[in-house]
Amino acid sequence: MITDHFADATNFLAFVSSLSPLESEANESMRSKLYQKIYRKGELILETGTVCKRIYFIDSGLVKTFFYTDNREFIMRFFAEGSMFTVLDSFLAQRPSAYAVQALEDTEITCLNYDDLEMLCKRYHSMETFYRKLLAIAAVNMMERIGGTLEEKAQIAYHKFLQAHGSLLQRISLADLASYLGITQVSLSRIRAMK
């Protein structure tokens, strides 16, 4: 990881305002708490077993959240520029994460620490509204991801991924895509070969 530096918070603040417009005092208070981190391709942003203490906004790049079981990797989500995310269960409970987050490309991230977010929510109603809406979006996305994994056949899941995230196809490895779909690379190759 390259050293932390002051963030150009424009995109982070625009995302926040899209969920809950902030009064100018809340906006400036949040801006003062934001900082940027730069990760190289392959670098871990969050290691399994550590507590997730940040909300992340991707200014540029691509990351994946994943976990291992029985020596097999399962990818939960991909996040590209313009996305805000965290490892929700670890962040909310401030307990060690079962997931890891890794940069798939060189990635610039604007961060907000848990303690700073809590303080901002106590001080500003608009921040609390933003946080509530962010959690609701994250919960809906996770429910859709879990539901899709449980009920869809691999071919349908692949085509849904193409519709929703086709622009990522050139940016992620086939191994990562197969892991995300919960299938082997051989199965993915068969699906891709079908016309």
- Let me know how long the chain is: 195
pLDDT per residue as tens digits for the range 144-166: 776 666 455 878 888 888 998 88
Per the CB < 8 A criterion, the answer to whether 112 and 55 are in contact is yes
Residue 148's pLDDT is 60
Collect all residues with Cβ–Cβ distance below 8 Å to 39 and sequence separation of at least 6.
1, 2, 45, 61, 63, 103, 106, 107, 109
pLDDT at 3: 42
Confidence category of residue 125, pLDDT binned at 50, 70, 90: very high
Give the tens place of pLDDT for each residue, 56-103.
999 999 999 999 888 888 888 899 999 999 999 999 999 999 999 999
Cβ neighbour number for residue 87 with a 10 Å cutoff: 22
Is the overall model pTM greater than 0.85, yes or no? no
